Amino acid sequence: MKIAVIGAGIVGSAAAFELAKRAGNEVVLYDKERRVGTHQSGHNSGVVHAGLYYTPGSQKARFCRESIPLLKDFCLEHGIGYNEIGKLIVAQSEKDEAGLREIHSKALKNGVSSVQWLSVDELREVEPNVQGRAALLSPETSIVNYQKVAQVLAEEFVSAGGELNLGHDVVTAESTPNGAIVKTANSEREFDRVIVAAGLHTDRIASRSGASKYPIVVPFFGSYYLLNEEDSTLVSHAIYPVPDPNFPFLGVHITPREDGRFMLGPSAYLSLAREGYKSTNVSAQDIGSMLGATGFWKMGVRNLTQAVRLLPEAFGHSALLRGAQGLVPKITGEGISALERGVRAQAVNRDGTLEDDFVLEREGHVTFLRNGPSPGATSAFRLARELSDIATK
Whether pLDDT at 308 is above 50: no
**Residue 302 identity (one-letter amino acid):** R
Examine the pLDDT at 215 and tell me if it is beyond 50: yes
Contact 109, 149 (CB under 8 A): no
Say if residue 367's pLDDT is above 90: yes
Q: Has residue 247 got a pLDDT over 70?
A: no
User: Which amino acid is present at 247?
Assistant: F
Pairing outcome for strands 193-196 and 225-226: unpaired
Distance between CA atoms of 231 and 137, rounded to whole angstroms? 21
Residue 218 phi/psi, 5-degree rounding, is -115, 120
Which pLDDT tens digit goes with each residue over 84-108?
Answer: 999 999 999 999 999 999 999 999 9
pLDDT on residue 306: 58
DSSP-assigned beta bridge partners for residue 337: 226
Question: Cβ contacts of residue 340 below 8 Å, gap of 6+?
Answer: 43, 224, 277, 278
* Per-residue model confidence (pLDDT) at position 300: 84
Q: Are 225 and 342 a contacting pair, CB within 8 Å?
A: no
- Which domains, from first to last, does the chain contain? 1-82+142-215+355-393 (3.50.50.60), 87-139 (no CATH), 218-350 (3.30.9)
CB-based burial of residue 283 (10 Å sphere; 0-12 exposed, 13-18 middle, 19+ buried)? middle
> pLDDT digit string (tens) for 117-156?
999 999 999 999 999 999 999 999 999 999 999 999 999 9
Q: For residue 146, what is the enclosing H or E element? A: helix 146-159
**Mean confidence (pLDDT) of the chain:** 93
pLDDT of residue 266: 76
Q: Distances from the Cα of 162 to the Cαs of 19, 137, 153, 169, 220, in angstroms?
A: 9, 41, 11, 18, 33
Q: φ, ψ for residue 109 (rounded to 5)?
A: -65, -30
The total of other beta-carbon atoms located within 10 Å of residue 23's CB is 4
3-class state of residue 186 by DSSP: coil
Please name the residues in contact with 339: beta carbons below 8 A apart, sequence gap of 6 or more: 224, 225, 226, 263, 265
Cα torsion through 270, 274, 276, 280, rounded to 10: -80
CB atoms within 10 A of CB 306: 14
338 has a pLDDT exceeding 70: yes
Task: Tell me the C-alpha distance between 319 and 272, whole Å.
Answer: 20
